[in-house]
Amino acid sequence: MRDWVRVCWAYLARDAAISTSYRLDFALRLGSMFFFITILYFVSQFIGASPALDRYGGYMPFAAVGMALASFFQSGFTSFSSAVRNEQMTGTLEAVLLTPARLPAIVLGSSLWSFAWGLLTILIYLGAVRLLFNVHFQGSWPAAAALVVFTTLVFSCLGVISASFTMAFKRGDPLPIFVSALSTLFGGVYFPVEVLPRSLQHISHLLPITYGLRGLREVLLRGESFADVMPEIGILLLFAAVTLPLSAWCFARAVRHARREGSLLVY
């Protein structure tokens, strides 16, 4: 356990130092959040009342929760493949994999800064919406935490599978197109799933983000309890039970393939 902590802390400290060293970029990323929050506010004024949105307090809180949390979930998905790609580009991937650090610790540590930034993004989005537009968040915080953790776990597992494609084939990873596009369009990020044609709603039911966002909105915007969102949590656990062993198997196979082909330094 101590070795895991040391490896993860080393990755986190390195990536945080790199990101914050570009001060202008860091400030612009923070400022862009408030820009998008302002856009959401005016869009909500344009949309007005809607039966599908009234139960959540209108479009502003609905979209703010969706955008903030979808950004965090996407961080879990993209961080692993981005980390592998960066290590390939800098020529350090082989050296990292040859260290005594265990492969799961390397995979986890390489993504910690993305998760930290994603968590900061959630706090800024929801905090700004609360302070500037008087949107109230309520409900069971343990339930909200469970929904965030399990949804992020599923997206992270999909991200590890995506990183496996990057490890083995360098380019041509098909997962980002499908996962990001389908989640944004059919997962209820910017509009309720109920407004989609019934035939397309079946796609939404196959996406983990649908259940994560639905449960989180029920908790944060309607004050539901842990028991009320147990169906969503249960479905997310089923997703995790499938994707967790699958992702571990895929990444281990990809590393063995890259080592056998001698392509760890090829990008």
Please name the amino acid found at residue 235.
I
Give residue 225's region: left, alpha or beta (phi > 0; psi -120 to 50): beta
Instruction: Report how far residue 8's alpha carbon sits from residue 49's, in angstroms, rounded to the nearest whole number.
Output: 47
Model confidence over 176-211: pLDDT tens digits? 777 888 888 898 888 888 888 888 889 999 999 999
How much is the mean pLDDT over the chain?
79
Whole-number pLDDT of residue 211: 94
The model carries a pTM of: 0.81
Model confidence over 151-182: pLDDT tens digits? 988 988 888 888 787 776 666 567 777 788 88
Give the CA distances from residue 157 to residues 74, 86, 244, 248, 250, in Å, rounded to whole numbers and listed in that order: 12, 19, 6, 8, 10
Instruction: Report how far residue 160's alpha carbon sits from residue 165's, in angstroms, rounded to the nearest whole number.
Output: 9
Give residue 204's region: left, alpha or beta (phi > 0; psi -120 to 50): alpha
